[in-house]
Structure 1
Amino acid sequence: MSEHSLNDYTSDPESSEDEIEPKLKYVRLSNDLKSIFHKSSATCIAVHPKFICLGSHCGYIHILDHQGNSIQGKQLKAHTVSINHISIDANGEFIATCSDDGRVFVHSLFSKENNLTLNLGRLVKTIALDPCYYKGGANRRFITGDNNLTLYERTFLGNLKPVVLCESEGLVRSMCWTSNGNFLAWSSNVGVRVYDINSRCSLGLIKWEEHSGMSTERFRCNLRWADEKTLLIGWVDTVRVCIIRKRSAIELANRDLPEYLVDPVSTVQTEFFISGIAPLDQQLVLLGIPKVPEAEDSQSPRPQLYIVEYRDNDCVDVCADSLSLRDYQEYGVNDYHLDVLLGENQFFVVAPKDVVVASPYDLDDRIQWLIEHSKFEDALDILRRSENGNGSNVGNTVPQRHTVQTVGIEYLDHLLREGQYDEAGRLCLRIFEKDAQLWEDQIYKFASVHRLRSVSPYIPRTSDCKLNPHIYEMILYEYLKLDAQGFLDLVKEWDPALYNVCAVINAVLEHLLNCEVNKNLYVEALAILYSYEKMYDKSLSMYLKLKHKDVFTLIEKHNLYSVIEDMLTTFMDLDYKKTIALLLDKQPIPSGIVVEKLKSNKLHLYRFLDEYDKKNIKGKYHRELISLYAIFDRENKLLPFLKKSEHYPIQEALNICQKEKYYPEMVYLLGRMGDTKEALELIINELKDMQHAISFCQEHDDQDLWEDLINNCVDKPGKWFYLVKFI
C-alpha cells in the first residue's frame, strides 16, 4: 500500500494560501495489485472487513487483503469472460459471482464441498447472496438478475430451486440486499424497485426520468443501503434517498397493500454522471465524472469523489476531489466502481487499472494538514477542544500522534523561522505552562537568535515552577548587552533567588568597563544588586553617585539611618523633604547635631528647622529661625512667627529687622518693647499707612501717641482730612 499526498488526487496541484482543508485522504493500493493489473483489468469489486474481492476481465476472482496483497491460494478462475458482479456474505465465508458467460459461481473460502457452479445459459448482470448464507439451511439462497429477478433456494431435499420473484423490463441491472436480509433493492431499465423478502412482494416502482439524450440504459444504476431502512440510489446524474416506512394500521385495514412502502425523501440533480454512492455519517459520498460535451478525439475527464450534504431536494458540496487514477483518460462513467466498509468509513474507488482507498481525515490527519499549511492556531484549537471532550465526530476523537506540546513546538519553530519572536514568546506561555523541562529545552532556541528578550516576560518564576538559574542568567546577560532599560527592569522585578546575584554583579562591572552609553542605568541596577547581596555600603555609594532618590527606600528598608549623619548635606542636596522626614520620624541623629551639620548651608538649615518647629512646641530653635525666616521667607513667615513665639530675644530680632529694613516687623517688635513713639513714626514716615497709624493708636490707647499723630498731620491737609474723617 502506498500513500500519496493530496495533490495526487486534486485537480489543482498548485498550492494556495487559501487552500481549503481536505475532508478525505487517499491511499493507492499496490503490492500484488501491480502484477494483477499488468495481466488484466478490474471490472468490479466487493469489500468485506476481512478482505477484498476483485473481479477481472479475464474472469478471475482475486482475493486480497486491505493492503493489496494476494491471499495465498485465493485466485479463482470462475468465468471465461468478464465478471459482472461479486457478492459476499456477512461473515466473509462465501463469495458469489456472475458473468456474461451465463454462469453463477458460489465459492466457499473454507470448504470445497459447499462450492456451487450454475450455468444459466444467459447473461447474468448481478447477483446477491443472502447476508446470512454462512448459517446454512434456509439462508443458503441467492438472487440473480438477468431478464428476471430470480431467487435460488434449497428445497426440503436439498435441491436448488429457482423462484422468479419479479419479471424485469429488460435486464436486471443491479441489486443490493439489506444486511438483515429483509429487503432487496434492484433496478431495471425503467426504475428501481424494493422487494420485501419476507412477504415475497414488491413495494412499488421508483420510476427514473430520462433526460434528453441520456438514456438510463447507458448508465449503471448504483444502489447502496445506508442502513436497514435507508436506500441510496445514484443513477445517471440524479441522487435519490428513500426510506422504507411501515404503513399505518389505518392504511393496511382499508386496502390490500404491502406492510411497507418506499418513501423518497430527497431527490437531487448533480453536475456529473454518477459511478458510485455511499453514506458517510449524515452525508453522502459520490463517485462520478464531470459532464463534458462529446467529441471524437476528446479524452475522458478525471473522475471525482464528492462529499455532499443533502436536505430535502437540495444538496451542498462539502468537498470535491479530482482523482488521478491510472489511464483515466480512456474510461467512462461505467468503468468506475465505489464500495465501502461502513463501519470503518473506508471508500474503495476502482478503475480498470487502479484501486484507491479514501477515508475521512481523522483528528491526527486534520492536525497534520493544518501544520503543513502553517495553520497552527487551528491545529491547537482542535487539540484543546479534544482535551475538553469536544473533539470531532469524524475519525478518532482523541489524537494519537499529536499533542498540544508537539504541535506547539512545531509552531514555535515556525514563528522563529519567520522572525516573529514576540509572538513566539507569547506562544511559550500557552504551550509550556508550568512544564519546567519543556521551558528549559526550548528556550535555547531563543538564545540562538539572540531573542531571549521576547520570551522573558512569560517564563515561569514562581516557587512551583522555577527554572535552572542559568536560564535566568542567560536572559539577564542578553539584556545587559542589548537593552539597558530592560536589564534594569528585570533586576527590579525578578526575585534575586532566581539567579546567582554575584555572577550578575561581576558581569555588570565588566560591562561598565567598556560601556559608553546608559551608564546610569547599569549603575542603578548595580545598586539594587548590591542591596540583594546586603552590600549596603556599595549600594548607597551607587545611589548617591547617581543622586537617585531610591537611596531613601534602601535606608528605610534596611534600617541604615546611621549613614545619614556623615553625609547629611549630600542627602539634603538629593532630596531635602525625604531627608527631613527621616530625621524627624526616625530621629537617628540628635537635633543639635543636625543643626551643627547644616549651619554651613542656611537653606538646608531653614528647611529642617521650619519642619522641626512644627513638631516641637518648645521653641528650641526660634532664635535661629528668626534670621532664617528673614532670609528665606520673610513675606509669609517672619511676622506671624514673631507674633506667636515667646522664645526669641526681641532685641536681636529687632536688630535683624532693622538691618534688613523690615518695617512691619520693626513696628511689631518696638510695640512689644514699649517704644510706641518710634513705632508710630515708622508707620507714618516709612510705611505711610494712616489706617495702620490710627489702628496702632487705638490699640495702645495712649494720649501722647494721639497727640504725636495729630501733630504729624496738622501741616499735611491730606492726612488731616483722613484723620478727621476717621475720628
Structure 2
Amino acid sequence: MSNDMRKILLNDAASCVAVHPKFLCVGTHLGIIRILDHNGNHVSGKELPVHSVAVNQISIDANGDHIASCSDDGKVFVFGLYNTDNNQDIVIGRLVKTVAIDPNYYKSGSGRRVITGDDRLMIHEKTFLSRVRSTLLVNAGQEGGVKSICWSPTGELIAWSTLLGFRVYDVTSRVSLGFVKWSKPAEMNLKCHMCWRDSCTLIVGWADTVRVCNVNQKLPHLMNPTDATPYEVSLVYTLAMNFVVCGVGPLEDSLVVLGLINDGDRPQLHIIEPLARTEYTNMLPDRLSLRGYNQYTSSDYSLECLVEESRYVIVSPKDIVVAWPLDTDDRIEWLLQHQKFETALEVVTEAVDSKNKPLATHSKLTVGTAYIDYLLSIKNYQEAASLCCKIFGDNVRLWEKEVYKFARAHQLRAVRRYLPLTDNKLPKHIYEMVLYEYLKMEPQGFLDVVKEWPANLYNIPAVVNAVIEHLLTTDPMSKETILEALAILYSLDGKHEKALVMYLKLRNKGVFELIEKHKLYDVVPSMVMGLMDLDVQQTVNCLIAGKDTINHDTVVENLKPNSQYLYRYLDELDRKSTKLAQKYHGELVRLYADFNREKLLPLLRKSEHYPIQATIKICKERKFIKETVHLLEIIGNTKEALSLITKELGNIEQAVDLCISRDDLELWEDLISYSLSTQSFIIYLLKRIGTYIDPRILVERIESHMKIPGLKDALVKMLQDYSLQVSVQEGFKEILVLDYYNLHHRLVSMQQRGISIGGK
C-alpha cells in the first residue's frame, strides 16, 4: 500500500490495523490512529492522537460508524466518526492488550458494548443517562491474561484467548461454551490470531497450529432445562503447520494463513485446504518482500481480512500489503505485463463468453487493442491486421482509429484484406488512404484492389486524379500496371470510351469484357483494327454480338486493309446472319477464294448476291474447275461447262447429269464427241444413254477397230434400256389413243342429246 501510507510509515511504525469495507484504521507506535481509504490515501480530518504509547488494537463496528482502541497507557477510547453521542473514554489503569467493539454498537438499544482484555475480561456498556457500567466476565490472571478478543458477526458470541488456550463466550447468557487448550506450552511473545468466517465458524491460529471450530445451536429436543446456553462448540480441524502462524482468515472453503518459519525470514502467505481433521493441502505458498522483514519476529506481523470481499491486509511495522485472490482481471493484467497477449486474449474471450462474473477492469476490446499495439511495435503487421476483425467487428469508430496506426507505419496494405466492404463501411477517405499507399508502394497491389473493391467505397475522380499525377513520376516498369488500373477506374466512373482507348493502348484483353459488360458495340467499328490486332476471335464475337446495332459498312471498310481479318468477320457474319451478310457476298467470294476454298462452292450455290462474271473470272484465274462449271451452268454456257467437266475434271457422271438436266441433243452429241477417245466414257454412256436418246447415235460413231473391254455387257444394257423405253412409249401411245376415243365418244353422245325448249 502506497500513497499517504508510505509517508506515515517513514516517520512512524504500524502497531495494529483494523479494516472495514469503507476504510481502514492504522494504529502506530506513537499512539496515533490514522484513517485511510483502501488505496492508502489519508482521509481529511481523520487523525486521532489519543494514546501516549503504541496502540495495541483497534476494533470497528459493523456499520463503520465507531472505532474502539486500547493501549498500554491503560486507556480505552471509543470514537464516533460522524458524531460524538456515543463516545467513551474508559480508564482501565492496566496494560490493556486487546479490545473488541460490539458489531451492533451503531444500533440504538444495543447497549453500546465494548469488551477489553488485560488480566481480566471486562465488558463495558452504556446504561441509563449514558453512564458506563463495567462488568467483570472472567478473571484470567492465572492464565497469563487475555491475549486476544473477537466478536462474532451477530454480536452474540465472543472468542478470547489466554496463554493456556481459547474459549467461546455467550455474551447474552454470560456463560462460556467450552475451553480448547493449546497443545504446547505457551510462549509469552506469541500472538493468538482469531477470525470468524461467519456467525458459527471460528478460525484460531497460535504457534504452529490452526484450529477451526463450529459453534452451533442445539436442537430443541436435545436441550436440557439446566443448559445455560443453546450453543455448543465442536472442534472440526486441528492443522499443524511447519511455521509460526502470524494471522488467519477464510477464503471460501479454504484458509489464508500468514506464517514465518524463522525470525528474520520473509513471511509467507499460504492457502490451506483442509482435507480431514488433521490433514490439509498447502496450495499456494507465496513469499512476501516487506520492508525490514529481516529485523522482525512473528509477533511483528498480523493479518486482517474483509471476509465478504476476500481482501487481506498484511501488517508489518514498516509496510502494509493488501492481497486478494487473483481473479480473471488480475490474471489478464499479469499476462499483459509479461507480454503474453495471445493467452490474455484467450482468457478474456472465455470470460466474456461464459458470462459467469463480469470483468471489472478488462474487456476483449482493451486486451485486443493492447495486443494489436504490441504486434505493431514488433512489426508483425499481418497478424495485427488479422486480429482487427476479431476485436473491432462492425464498430466503424474503432476501425477508423486503428487504421491510422497502420497508416503511420505505412502498412495499410496489411490491413486491406480485413476492412469491412459491405455492411458498416468506413468513411471513404480510409479506403482512399489504402489505395494511395498501394499506388506509391505496390502498383500490382493497387491494380488488384481496384479490381476487387466495389466502386462505392471511395471517390473515383479523386483516385483518378491521384493516378494521373503519379504517372508523371512513376517507374516505367510499373507504368503499364497503373494504366490498366486507370482504365478500370475510368470504366467504374462511366467513362467507357476512355477506358477502351486505355485498354487498346495497353493491348489488354480486358477491353472485350468491358465491351460485353456495358454493351459498347457501337464504338467497336471505329477501333476494329486495333481490336483485331489484339484478339481476332474475341473481336469477331463482339461484332457478331452487336450485329443488330453496329454499322457493318464501317467495319468492312476499316477491315479491308487486312483481308484475313475481313474474311474472319464476314465468314462469321454469314454463318450467324446470312441476311446481313448478303450485300458482302461478292467480297466474301474473293475472301473464300483466298482463304477457304471449301466454303466457296456452297456459297455460290446458296447465294445470288455476288457479281457472277467477276466471280467466274476469279475462279478461272485460280483454276477452280468445279466452281467455274457451276457458274457456267448458271449463265447457260453448258458447252464450256461440259468441256471442263470432261476434259479437266474427267467426271463422266457429272457430264451425263448435265446433259440429262438440259435435254439438249446437241449437248449429247458434244458429250459423245468428247467421250469417243476414252473407253471408260464409252462404256458408261452405253449403259446410261439408252433411256434418253437413240443409242445408235453413239454406236455408229464408235470406230470399228477400237477394242473396248466390257462392250458386250454395255450393249446388252443399252438395248435393254432402249427396248424398255420403246415399250414404255408404246404403252403411253396406247393409253393416249384409248383416252382420245373415250373422250370423243363422250363428246358425240352429249351433242346427240335432246334439248328441252320450254314455252312462255
Question: What does 1:39-58 correspond to in 2, within 5 Å?
Answer: 42-48=14-20, 52-55=24-27
Residue 418 of structure 2 corresponds to residue 458 of structure 1: yes
**Contact preservation (8 Å) 2:58, 2:67:** no
Partner of 1:175: 149
Partner of 2:104: 132
Residue 431 of structure 2 corresponds to residue 481 of structure 1: no
Residue of structure 2 aligned with 1:229, choices 186, 200, 214: 200
Partner of 2:576: 615
Taking the aligned partners of 2:477 and 2:226, their CA distance within structure 1 comes to: 103
Q: Alpha-carbon deviation of 1:329?
A: 0.5
Q: Alpha-carbon deviation of 1:366?
A: 6.3
**Contact preservation (8 Å) 2:51, 2:75:** no
**Contact preservation (8 Å) 1:348, 1:356:** yes
Question: What does 1:254-269 correspond to in 2, within 5 Å?
Answer: 259-262=230-233
Taking the aligned partners of 2:212 and 2:591, their CA distance within structure 1 comes to: 106
Output one character per residue of 1:471-497: Cα deviation in whole Å (capped at 9) or x when no partner.
444332221221111111222233445
Output one character per residue of 1:530-561: Cα deviation in whole Å (capped at 9) or x when no partner.
33444433321210122222212322344432
Taking the aligned partners of 1:660 and 1:189, their CA distance within structure 2 comes to: 137
Compared CA separation, residues 656 and 275, structure 1 to 2 (3 A): farther
**Contact preservation (8 Å) 2:146, 2:161:** yes
Compared CA separation, residues 704 and 94, structure 1 to 2 (3 A): closer
- After TM superposition, the structure 1 stretch with the greater mean CA deviation from structure 2, 667-676 or 366-375, is 667-676
Identity %: 41
Q: Alpha-carbon deviation of 1:564?
A: 1.4
Partner of 1:349: 314
* Code of the aligned partner of 1:555: I
Taking the aligned partners of 1:113 and 1:431, their CA distance within structure 2 comes to: 57
Taking the aligned partners of 2:571 and 2:237, their CA distance within structure 1 comes to: 98
- After TM superposition, the structure 1 stretch with the greater mean CA deviation from structure 2, 659-668 or 42-51, is 659-668
Taking the aligned partners of 1:714 and 1:520, their CA distance within structure 2 comes to: 79
SS for the counterpart of 1:454 is helix
Partner of 1:577: 537
* Code of the aligned partner of 2:268: Q
Output one character per residue of 1:700-721: Cα deviation in whole Å (capped at 9) or x when no partner.
9992599xxxx99889xxxxxx
Taking the aligned partners of 2:293 and 2:142, their CA distance within structure 1 comes to: 33
Taking the aligned partners of 2:391 and 2:566, their CA distance within structure 1 comes to: 61
Residue of structure 2 aligned with 1:274, choices 245, 249, 253: 245
Q: Alpha-carbon deviation of 1:441?
A: 4.9
Partner of 2:59: 87
Taking the aligned partners of 1:154 and 1:187, their CA distance within structure 2 comes to: 25
Residue of structure 1 aligned with 2:305, choices 331, 334, 340: 340
- 5+ long unaligned stretches in structure 1: 4-27, 293-298, 685-695, 716-727
* Code of the aligned partner of 1:334: S
Q: Alpha-carbon deviation of 1:419?
A: 0.9
Partner of 2:10: 34
Question: What does 1:267-306 correspond to in 2, within 5 Å?
Answer: 270=241, 272-280=243-251, 284-289=255-260, 291=261, 300-306=264-270
Compared CA separation, residues 640 and 365, structure 1 to 2 (3 A): farther
Question: What does 1:513-662 correspond to in 2, within 5 Å?
Answer: 513-514=472-473, 515-587=475-547, 588-591=549-552, 594-595=555-556, 597-598=558-559, 600-616=561-577, 620=582
- 5+ long unaligned stretches in structure 2: 635-640, 654-679, 691-706, 712-760
**Contact preservation (8 Å) 1:54, 1:63:** yes
- After TM superposition, the structure 1 stretch with the greater mean CA deviation from structure 2, 456-465 or 554-563, is 456-465
Taking the aligned partners of 1:642 and 1:112, their CA distance within structure 2 comes to: 126
Residue 663 of structure 2 corresponds to residue 703 of structure 1: no
- After TM superposition, the structure 1 stretch with the greater mean CA deviation from structure 2, 178-187 or 458-467, is 458-467
Q: Alpha-carbon deviation of 1:328?
A: 1.0
SS for the counterpart of 2:500 is helix
Residue of structure 2 aligned with 1:197, choices 171, 174, 177: 171
Output one character per residue of 1:431-466: Cα deviation in whole Å (capped at 9) or x when no partner.
555555555555443333322212233345568544
Taking the aligned partners of 2:617 and 2:235, their CA distance within structure 1 comes to: 122
Taking the aligned partners of 2:25 and 2:465, their CA distance within structure 1 comes to: 78
**Contact preservation (8 Å) 1:154, 1:161:** no
Compared CA separation, residues 499 and 86, structure 1 to 2 (3 A): closer
Q: TM-score normalized by structure 1? A: 0.71
Partner of 1:446: 406
**Contact preservation (8 Å) 2:163, 2:186:** no
Taking the aligned partners of 2:645 and 2:228, their CA distance within structure 1 comes to: 139
Q: Alpha-carbon deviation of 1:499?
A: 4.2
**Contact preservation (8 Å) 2:303, 2:312:** yes
Compared CA separation, residues 600 and 240, structure 1 to 2 (3 A): farther
* Code of the aligned partner of 1:537: E
CA RMSD in angstroms, aligned pairs only: 5.2
Taking the aligned partners of 2:86 and 2:224, their CA distance within structure 1 comes to: 50
Compared CA separation, residues 702 and 271, structure 1 to 2 (3 A): farther
Output one character per residue of 1:672-705: Cα deviation in whole Å (capped at 9) or x when no partner.
9999978996799xxxxxxxxxxx99xx999259
SS for the counterpart of 1:30 is helix
**Contact preservation (8 Å) 1:670, 1:676:** no
Taking the aligned partners of 1:665 and 1:231, their CA distance within structure 2 comes to: 123
Residue 332 of structure 2 corresponds to residue 373 of structure 1: no
Compared CA separation, residues 638 and 271, structure 1 to 2 (3 A): farther
Output one character per residue of 1:346-387: Cα deviation in whole Å (capped at 9) or x when no partner.
433221333334456788776655544334456666777888
**Contact preservation (8 Å) 1:98, 1:127:** no
Q: Alpha-carbon deviation of 1:149?
A: 5.4
Taking the aligned partners of 2:438 and 2:709, their CA distance within structure 1 comes to: 83
Residue 322 of structure 2 corresponds to residue 322 of structure 1: no
Q: Alpha-carbon deviation of 1:189?
A: 5.0
Q: Alpha-carbon deviation of 1:336?
A: 0.2
* Code of the aligned partner of 2:542: L
Taking the aligned partners of 1:266 and 1:628, their CA distance within structure 2 comes to: 113
* Code of the aligned partner of 1:273: V
Q: Alpha-carbon deviation of 1:311?
A: 6.4
Question: What does 1:384-403 correspond to in 2, within 5 Å?
Answer: 390=355, 392=357, 397-399=359-361
Partner of 1:494: 453
Residue of structure 1 aligned with 2:35, choices 46, 64, 89: 64
Compared CA separation, residues 504 and 146, structure 1 to 2 (3 A): closer
Compared CA separation, residues 163 and 564, structure 1 to 2 (3 A): closer
Question: Which one has a bigger Cα radius of gyration?
Answer: 2
Compared CA separation, residues 473 and 164, structure 1 to 2 (3 A): closer
**Contact preservation (8 Å) 1:309, 1:315:** yes
